[in-house]
Structure 1
Amino acid sequence: MIDQTISHDPHALRLFEARRKFFDQGYGDEGDERDHPDCKLPHAVLRSWQRCLESGLDYRADGRGDPEGRSELAAARERSERLLRNASGVIEHVFDQIRASGSMVILADDHGMILHSLGDPEFFTRAQRVALQPGSLWSESMRGTNAIGTTLMEAGPVEVIGAEHFLDRNSILTCSAAPVFDPEGKLLGVFDISADYRNNQRHTLGLARLAAQLIEKHLFEVEFSTDILVAFHLRPEGVGGLQEGVLAVSAEGRILGANLAARALFAESNGLVGLDFNALFKPSFGHFVDRGSRPPFLQTIETRHGERLYARLRSAPSLRSNPPARGTSSAAADRMAFCDARHEQRVTLKCLATGDPSLQTALDRASRIMGKDIPLLIQGESGVGKELFARAFHYSGPRQDGPFVALNCAAIPENLIESELFGYVGGAFTGARREGSIGKIQQAHGGTLFLDEIGDMPLNMQARLLRVLQERCVTPVGAQRQVPVDISLVCATHRVLRDAMRAGSFREDLYYRINGLTVTLPALRERSDIRSIVHKLIAAEASDGVQVTISEPVMDFFERYPWPGNVRQLQNVIRLAVALLDEGETEIQSCHLPEDLFSADQMGETKSGQEPAFLVEASGRSLDEIKCEAIAMVMNEFGGNVSAAARRLGISRNTLYRKIGRMN
């Protein structure tokens, strides 16, 4: 029996007849499609139906399947972090364009698992009945012909309308999807727009393809953000568009990467990478860079085959950064860097590089997104320097001349954070200033907004912040109109936001909006560059012209101390030690350090003004011997309680067990 909704829809009737002939009479190859004009199925759909039949899938099957579960979804999102990071803004932008159309915007990984979705509430409820939600697997082998799974099989854009879905139960959907490839041409996932099949729009597939191209553009620019980019097109108006070819080129002129359009123009799939720039173009790379650095920036360039292209040079952020002034010594540069940090002036990411590999990884990753519309999330314990890192990120990028505005979400009472963040008009509430107040978001216009401890932001404020980030407009408390804002967003937290999401205290949609790139700053006890940090802090705190040094036993102690307060604690210790130096003294000894550094609740008792025993006796002994004695002292203090001793030493129980095992 034909559904009443189908009986009034000629297209649905033709599909119904096509299904009957396919499943009852067994035809469905491309030749049959030409022989039967009443069967107007796309070739990709016919090929998919045939695959489904050959795999033994029953078109009458439920095919529902349950979501894979939170752990599987979390693992999939972890694997696809790069895709999610670069697609989040595109998902929100596309959904804004089709809001209230009864549609969903979906991102799936290369296995067909839905990673993220946004949808109109009414359709979202219906879609859940067919498991169109995060955690559900929409591979072709599990759910038959569908836009996500079939796009993965075809490696190209696919539209599946109504009864073109292999499974009967999915015929309520119309889905348009396009594949997303990484800069090396590997299939990363699928961008999909789904709706009620009665709401099918002609241009939806084009919108999905456009979104996929935007994501691929972001992926390419982030991957090669520290390299020189050369954009080109056959027409001048095509340079800067989504169809432009882009090459990533090293400073020596070697091609490091090529986007899909560039490979297509040169009829190369993977053969461009590794070639010299001069192997493709007639002018030398140096000549091209020289011309492209002066107006007019758009220039013509001829290929080795005689084809004329229009090209534009895009310098990498690292090439635009200011080099150190000539004649400035390394020590003086270190001093300036830490003075700037202490007085919250223009410290840069380069200033923070002190040799620790884990920190250098964070610096390198952050430098790659400078100048891009990608939010930065900084994680780490209290005192590791998250705000300093945020300032360095701001002053290293193209917004360095704009404002840097910081707000600690944990330090402001909940009833005041709204007015602090969004501002208010005069008379908006009792106690408001008559002239009103501009909020932190507006203050950061043209620059960077730094939200510290964002994990402590109240839920209702999270919803308002998400709207601001999506619409790029802010509405002050009591105001009737929105104010456009242009900000770069940097957030920081010591919390594990994934745990907060599971606990319901942090919004999932906000998490994926602020989690463009996540960097984790190591705790000071985990860093290998403490010696370098100490020297730089001493140089910053010492008086002009005074060369302050530090005794080797104190330095050894610094390298072994757990530093529960991290860099902030070390900076305070150095500041006090320099202040306690007598006139004529230039070396920091243990007597210049704060007494509580050696108190019973830290590393063993000492008398005021005396050097701790394990420092006095350190000379001539190995570091392992000193470590063993320190562990033995703490273990003795806590009567052999490993958990208590590990907490006091600032290490895990497993680490302490391993160290004790080596002592025996």
Structure 2
Amino acid sequence: MGQMHVRAAQGSELESLRRRYLERGDLPEGGLSASVLRSWERCQRLGLEIGERGRPANTTRADLMLARERNATLLNHAGGVMEHLYEQIRASGSMVLLADASGLILHGIGDPSFVDRASRVALQPGASWSECQRGTNAIGATLIERAPVEIFGAEHYLECNGVLTCSAAPIFDSKGVLLGALDISGDHRKPQPHTLGLARMGVRLVERRMFESEHARHALFAFHNRPEGVGGLQEGLLAVDADGEIVAADRQARMLLGIEDRRIGRLGAFGNLFRSGFGTVISRAGRDPAALMELELRDGARMFARVRVSPAWSANAHAASSGRARVAQGQDPSRSARQRITLETLATGDAGLQFTLDRCAKVIGRKIPVLIQGESGSGKELLARACHNSGPRADGPFVAVNCAAIPEHLIESELFGYVGGAFTGARKEGAIGRIQQADGGTLFLDEIGDMPLAMQARLLRVLQERCVQPVGGSEPVAVDIALLCATHRNLGDLVRAGQFREDLYYRVNGLTAMLPPLRERTDLHQIVRRLIDGSSNHPEPRAITVDPSAMRLLEAYAWPGNIRQLQNVLEVALALLDAHEERILPEHLPEEVQGASPVTRVAAAAPASASAMSPATLPLRGRRPKDIDDAMIREALERFEGNLSAAARHLGVARNTLYRRMGCDY
């Protein structure tokens, strides 16, 4: 904080140093970082004048949209991180910005008052902040320096930008390619002491998420030279395939191992780095996945490590002919892919889905009930299974009950069981109910909004007392269950209509997990690929692809049945392929997908999604996203003090939609 005070007090002196440098070429001694001096020299060589307003790149809205498409993966993984960073600096007169490798700002989120002031110097999505166009600034400098940079007030080369204080850090992929920069900017009169540290932390989170998503099918080897470093942001990550070959190392891993960027992609076998073979390490991890292992590098240094594997990697390792040990982690190889699914394997790059997965991961095992909301076919049961398989109850039973599919006169005996002779037609030996079957594991109540009121009262008692009393029985039976519920209906509306008990609503709604409808997701290509690869109609051993013309039709369609409908469409398309065909063409798709108008479908479907998924009253429900103007967005952000989730619910749109609108128009 002291350094910030010094720099704030030296604002006029910084201006004097800059003018002396420009007029006489004097290089200031002390008070300025080497990166700032190098940037000033570059700006002078470019012929920039300090009185300029910058050299706009004349980017259009179309240019911005193309740039956002090119950087879709970066945007998807950075969106949630940016919101997290903004929560740390809320009401400080600041904003968080994401720029691509050229310096073009792709997305921004911040205090409405500062966002307005920043727009006066074009610090907003769609503007280029490369050094050659905006002079010395944190985004432009960090992209050239390839290192974190902080630019305070008059350290900006152009006088008009002296009202800012900016901290930025570069973002790299696992191959060392520069992807862009994450920046935190604010009013130079209100400098914050830890913004550069926050920017670096944010970049680490983004890079880590991208690495884990890219290598979801590989074993992830997390390590550090201190035991307390494993599990934190400073751990390094290696991605290892089923044959023990290192396929990627993140930036932190390369630093810990002393690996130069030019060696990326040529790391070879795991045993080339560590004295222990990968099969041995996998076997040790299989016996105790949570154990911290101490391993020795070939040069004698010691590292502490844990191994994380996904079901996809386990399947690959099991199928490999190398004979290496397989990490079971409670997974039976005979189980279906649906049963093996985890939160990690559900991640396909969509920011809205990733936000939900991250929230679920934080509450698993903490005795917090999760209420999954989403349209029919959006994957609610799949998310429930992933939560179960990713938690401490993964080895226990997963019992799913569709409350809407059981006849009302049978739901009591189905849920609670019954003793012999309890009613006419009952088996003489009785039957164990679904709740008792879930003892030691997870009970998933799908479409809980359709449960009769009488059953709601009995369920509430079970959740309060953790005991179940079978129909016709006199003795309660203790049960230990984790509870997951799902519905496509608005439980808040049902409570107000007297159709759902308010006390039960608060019991089941510990965390609301919102599943975005397929038409609002950005990962359609990845979903299509996974559905094709996992289809029983896949004509092995051919590699089936989707023709671009067919993919455009899939992208344009509104998918009222969501992922379930998409799966059915692809199953039919695969079945229609002839023996020699390896590509799905438009003629393999149903007529409804080929011929419907995408504009009409999307416009009609979006309000229904907002209505179904929002747990709160939506004063603006029924409006289409395009009908919501900038003034309404500003008003909502001010009303909810910058809380994007609350503003999106109030406007009746998905949070991703609000992100896009802010990125393009706000």
State the TM-score, normalized to the length of structure 2.
Answer: 0.55
Cα distance in 1 for partners of 2:94, 2:281 equals 47
Which fold has the larger relative contact order, with Cα–Cα distance below 8 Å and residues 6 or more apart in sequence? 2
Task: Name the counterpart of 1:317.
Answer: 311
CA 1:239–1:482 in 2, change beyond 3 Å: closer, same or farther?
same
Cα distance in 2 for partners of 1:300, 1:404 equals 41
Task: Name the counterpart of 2:275.
Answer: 282
Match of 2:296 among 302, 319, 322: 302
> Displacement, 1:176?
0.4
Task: Name the counterpart of 2:223.
Answer: 232
> Displacement, 1:60?
0.7
> Displacement, 1:447?
5.2
> Displacement, 1:98?
0.9
Task: Name the counterpart of 1:254.
Answer: 245
> Displacement, 1:393?
5.7
Task: Name the counterpart of 1:511.
Answer: none
Show the 5 A alignment for 1:606-617.
Answer: none
Cα distance in 2 for partners of 1:130, 1:233 equals 43
Task: Please list the CA deviations of residues 423-463 of structure 1 after superposition, one character each: whole Å capped at 9, or x if unmatched.
Answer: 9xxxxxxx9x999x99xxxxxx97586869xxxx9xx99xx
- Root-mean-square deviation (CA, aligned residues, Å) is 5.2
Is residue 2:108 matched to residue 1:83?
no
Cα distance in 1 for partners of 2:507, 2:186 equals 31
> Displacement, 1:245?
1.6
**1:177–1:193 CA contact under 8 A, matched in 2:** yes
Task: Please list the CA deviations of residues 159-196 of structure 1 after superposition, one character each: whole Å capped at 9, or x if unmatched.
Answer: 00001111110100000000111111111111110000
Task: Name the counterpart of 1:14.
Answer: 13
Is residue 2:42 matched to residue 1:43?
no
State the TM-score, normalized to the length of structure 1.
Answer: 0.55
Equivalent position SS for 2:189 = helix
Equivalent position SS for 1:491 = coil
Cα distance in 1 for partners of 2:82, 2:447 equals 25
Task: Name the counterpart of 1:540.
Answer: none
Task: Name the counterpart of 1:33.
Answer: 28
Cα distance in 2 for partners of 1:25, 1:404 equals 77
> Displacement, 1:122?
1.1
Equivalent position SS for 2:517 = strand
Task: Please list the CA deviations of residues 599-646 of structure 1 after superposition, one character each: whole Å capped at 9, or x if unmatched.
Answer: xxxxxxxxxxxxxxxxxxxxxxx999xxxxxx9xxxxxxxxxxxxxx9
Give 1:285's aligned amino acid: F
**1:45–1:160 CA contact under 8 A, matched in 2:** yes
**1:147–1:159 CA contact under 8 A, matched in 2:** yes
Give 2:276's aligned amino acid: P
Match of 1:395 among 382, 385, 398: 385
> Considering only CA atoms, is the larger Rg found in Structure 1 or Structure 2?
1
Cα distance in 2 for partners of 1:571, 1:186 equals 39
> Displacement, 1:396?
5.3
> Displacement, 1:65?
3.2
> Displacement, 1:531?
10
Match of 1:293 among 286, 307, 326: 286
Show the 5 A alignment for 1:504-523.
Answer: 517-519=523-525
Match of 1:267 among 250, 255, 258: 258
CA 1:349–1:388 in 2, change beyond 3 Å: closer, same or farther?
farther
Show the 5 A alignment for 1:451-466.
Answer: none
Cα distance in 2 for partners of 1:71, 1:528 equals 34
Task: Name the counterpart of 2:139.
Answer: 148
Match of 2:46 among 46, 50, 55: 55
Equivalent position SS for 1:198 = coil
Match of 1:374 among 348, 354, 370: 354
**1:225–1:317 CA contact under 8 A, matched in 2:** no
Show the 5 A alignment for 1:575-654.
Answer: 650=594
Task: Please list the CA deviations of residues 245-265 of structure 1 after superposition, one character each: whole Å capped at 9, or x if unmatched.
Answer: 211111211111111122122
CA 1:488–1:259 in 2, change beyond 3 Å: closer, same or farther?
farther
CA 1:569–1:277 in 2, change beyond 3 Å: closer, same or farther?
closer
Equivalent position SS for 2:22 = helix
Equivalent position SS for 1:49 = helix
Cα distance in 1 for partners of 2:258, 2:278 equals 21
Equivalent position SS for 2:255 = helix
Match of 1:208 among 177, 199, 202: 199
CA 1:396–1:97 in 2, change beyond 3 Å: closer, same or farther?
closer
Task: Please list the CA deviations of residues 501-559 of structure 1 after superposition, one character each: whole Å capped at 9, or x if unmatched.
Answer: xxxxxxxxxxxxx75x4457669xx999999499xxxxxxxxxxxxxxxxxxxxxxxxx
Cα distance in 1 for partners of 2:403, 2:45 equals 60
Cα distance in 2 for partners of 1:407, 1:95 equals 40
CA 1:449–1:323 in 2, change beyond 3 Å: closer, same or farther?
farther
Cα distance in 1 for partners of 2:225, 2:106 equals 37
> Displacement, 1:293?
2.2
Cα distance in 2 for partners of 1:434, 1:648 equals 40
Is residue 2:175 matched to residue 1:184?
yes
CA 1:17–1:228 in 2, change beyond 3 Å: closer, same or farther?
same
Cα distance in 2 for partners of 1:246, 1:323 equals 19
Percent identical: 37
Give 1:265's aligned amino acid: L
CA 1:297–1:522 in 2, change beyond 3 Å: closer, same or farther?
closer
Cα distance in 2 for partners of 1:69, 1:33 equals 39
Moved more, 300-309 or 65-74: 65-74
Match of 2:516 among 479, 482, 491: 491
CA 1:290–1:394 in 2, change beyond 3 Å: closer, same or farther?
same
Is residue 2:126 matched to residue 1:121?
no
Task: Count the aligned residue pairs.
Answer: 438
Show the 5 A alignment for 1:430-509.
Answer: 485-486=510-511, 489-494=514-519, 497=520
Q: Which runs of 5+ in 2 are unaligned?
A: 319-334, 358-374, 405-445, 461-481, 494-500, 540-558, 572-578, 582-586, 598-666
Give 2:158's aligned amino acid: L
Cα distance in 2 for partners of 1:160, 1:144 equals 11
Cα distance in 2 for partners of 1:351, 1:316 equals 9
Task: Name the counterpart of 2:575.
Answer: none
Equivalent position SS for 1:246 = strand
CA 1:283–1:102 in 2, change beyond 3 Å: closer, same or farther?
same
Task: Please list the CA deviations of residues 397-422 of structure 1 after superposition, one character each: whole Å capped at 9, or x if unmatched.
Answer: 635877989999xxxxxxxxxxx999
Cα distance in 1 for partners of 2:156, 2:196 equals 16
**1:67–1:134 CA contact under 8 A, matched in 2:** no
CA 1:131–1:293 in 2, change beyond 3 Å: closer, same or farther?
same
Give 2:181's aligned amino acid: V
Give 2:354's aligned amino acid: I
Task: Please list the CA deviations of residues 266-319 of structure 1 after superposition, one character each: whole Å capped at 9, or x if unmatched.
Answer: 221243644111111111211111112223610110111111111111122325
**1:451–1:492 CA contact under 8 A, matched in 2:** no
CA 1:247–1:164 in 2, change beyond 3 Å: closer, same or farther?
same
Cα distance in 1 for partners of 2:125, 2:566 equals 43
Show the 5 A alignment for 1:548-563.
Answer: none
Cα distance in 2 for partners of 1:163, 1:569 equals 55
Moved more, 391-400 or 193-202: 391-400
